Structure formats: structure tokens, C-alpha cells
Amino acid sequence: MRLIVLAAAAALLAGPALAADGAAIYNSQCKACHGAAGAGGPAGPALKGVARRKVASAPGFAYSAGLKAKGGAWTDPNLDAFLTNPGGFAPGSKMFARAAQPGDRAAVIAYLKTLK
């Protein structure tokens, strides 16, 4: 319960400062696979415009069958669930990285929304 309240508070505070924190988290935990500023990398799909994009829809990336079968779009709750536990969100996902801290996820999601 307390976590839900904290997550809601974090979402309300979402703004430039949060996105800046998210950029630092992205650069240390996501960039190696997803490329600088979400340009896409050798091991991960491009994340430019990922917010609200259809799940598993970056052109030219060979997604897992599990993520392709998931359907839907990358809403905030879906991004939060995926980053919490990719294999729980989409069984068989090829992404094994996760962001364990709710605050880190809120920040990195705010940053993903700036990638256009």
C-alpha cells in the first residue's frame, strides 16, 4: 500500500528533474543494450518514442515470441511492470535487466518519455 502511494507521488512529481535522474540511470543501466538516447544497440531495440508505442514494434529488431505475443502499448503501468520483472510481464522475454527500485523506474520512465 505504501509503495503504491509512493509510486503515485513519484508520478505526480514527474518532470524535468525526474527525467534528469532517469537519464543518469539510463546511461548506467540501459544504454549498453539500447544505445545512446535510445537509438538502439546491438543487444536491444531502439527506445525512441517507446512511450505509448505498440509493444515489440521497433523495426528490424528480433523480439522474443513472448514479448511479440503480449500485445498492447507501452503505457506507464506496462513499462513499470516490464522493468520490474521482464520475464513476469512477458514470459520468455529476452531482456534480463531490471530496475529494482520503484523510484528508479519512475525516473527512467520519465526519461524514456523525452526520447522522441
**Is the separation of the CB atoms in 70 and 57 below 8 Å?**
no
CA distance 69 to 65: 6
Footprint of ligand HEC on 22-81 (CB under 6 A)? 29-30, 32-34, 43-45, 47, 50, 55-58, 63-64, 66-67, 74, 79
Question: Any idea which residue has 513472448 for its cell?
Answer: 66
Please report how close the Cβ of residue 20 comes to ligand HEC at its closest, in angstroms: 15
Q: Does 113 bind ligand HEC (CB under 6 A)?
A: no
> Of how many residues is the chain composed?
116
Question: Any idea which residue has 528508479 for its cell?
Answer: 104
Binding site for ligand HEC (CB under 6 A): 29-30, 32-34, 43-45, 47, 50, 55-58, 63-64, 66-67, 74, 79, 83, 90, 93-95, 97, 99, 108
